[in-house]
């Protein structure tokens, strides 16, 4: 059977999405396997057909979620457009993904701050490795950004967007297109290179 991210195995996907929702509400250890099974309309034993343990379920859910985030970020990308425009598109997409997928946002934040992230540092989505990280590297190499540690760039951008999305969700505030582009502009202002003209 196909145990890939893009799978049509409905039970496996049901388990993943149920876990996502439940972890958002109750946290990792706060969600029992029995409840995951119930919510996914699946027997408890079935979970262990697809995942070795609760721990690997969480790790695979992380990769699944990160993969979906990556795909969402790349939506509507066009390599022929100017770098800055593509950057804005990426950021807007990321922000929209967070507010349209609250549970993914909460899950990712929890995961990153959990022992799992430390225990499985190599586990990550391919899309990030092959597309998104290189896009930022390109921006750095070509002088679009300040000369800071490239590995610091991504967390900072992410930190800002996540903070904004969290706030937007918790306060039930609706941001207009305008507000979002102002937010992205803030990020751009923060990291753009002021010295040379790229």
Partner DNA sequence: TGCTACCGAATGAACATTCAATTAGAAGAT
Partner DNA sequence: ATCTTCTAATTGAATGTTCATTCGGTAGCA
186 is an interface residue for a copy of itself by CB under 8 A: yes
Instruction: Find the shortest distance in angstroms from Cβ 135 to a copy of itself.
Output: 18
Q: Which is nearer to DNA, 29 or 147 (CB)?
A: 29
Cβ–Cβ < 8 Å for 157, 144: no
Residue from 21, 109, 124, 131 in contact with a copy of itself (CB under 8 A): 109
DSSP character at residue 131: I
CB-neighbour burial class of residue 64 (10 A; exposed 0-12, middle 13-18, buried 19+)? buried
Instruction: Find the shortest distance in angstroms from Cβ 77 to a copy of itself.
Output: 24
153 torsion bin: left (phi>0), alpha (psi -120 to 50), beta (else): alpha
Query: How far apart, in Å, do the first and last CA atoms of the chain sit?
Result: 49
32 is an interface residue for DNA by CB under 7 A: yes
What are 2's two structure tokens?
Answer: 């196909």
Fill in the per-residue mask, 53 to 72: x = in contact with DNA (CB under 7 A), - = not in contact. Answer: xxx-----------------
Part of the chain binding DNA (CB under 7 A), chosen from 45-53, 70-78, 99-107, 157-165: 45-53
Q: Which is nearer to DNA, 14 or 74 (CB)?
A: 14
Distance CA 11, CA 109 (A): 25
Q: Apex CA 74: angle with CA 72 and CA 78, to 5°?
A: 145
Could you list the residues that contact a copy of itself (CB under 8 A)?
25-30, 106, 109-110, 112-115, 118, 146, 148-149, 151-152, 155-156, 158-164, 166-167, 170-171, 173, 179, 182-183, 186-187, 189-191
């Amino acid at each position: 059977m196909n145990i890939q991210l893009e799978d049509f195995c409905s039970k496996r996907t049901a388990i993943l999405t149920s876990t996502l929702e439940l972890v958002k509400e109750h946290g990792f250890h706060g969600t029992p396997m029995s409840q995951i099974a119930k919510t996914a309309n699946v027997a408890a034993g079935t979970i262990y057909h697809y995942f070795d343990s609760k721990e690997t379920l969480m790790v695979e859910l992380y990769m699944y979620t990160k993969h979906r985030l990556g795909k969402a970020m790349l939506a509507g990308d066009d390599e022929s457009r100017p770098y800055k425009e593509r950057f804005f598109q990426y950021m807007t997409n990321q922000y929209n993904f967070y507010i349209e997928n609250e549970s993914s946002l909460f899950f990712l934040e929890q995961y990153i701050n959990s022992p799992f992230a430390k225990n499985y540092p190599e586990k990550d989505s391919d899309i990030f490795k092959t597309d998104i990280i290189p896009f930022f590297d390109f921006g750095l190499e070509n002088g679009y950004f300040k000369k800071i540690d490239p590995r610091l760039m991504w967390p900072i951008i992410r930190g800002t967007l996540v903070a904004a999305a969290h706030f937007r969700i918790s306060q039930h505030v609706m941001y207009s297109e305008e507000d979002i582009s102002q937010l992205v502009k803030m990020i751009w202002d923060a990291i753009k290179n002021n010295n040379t003209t790229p």
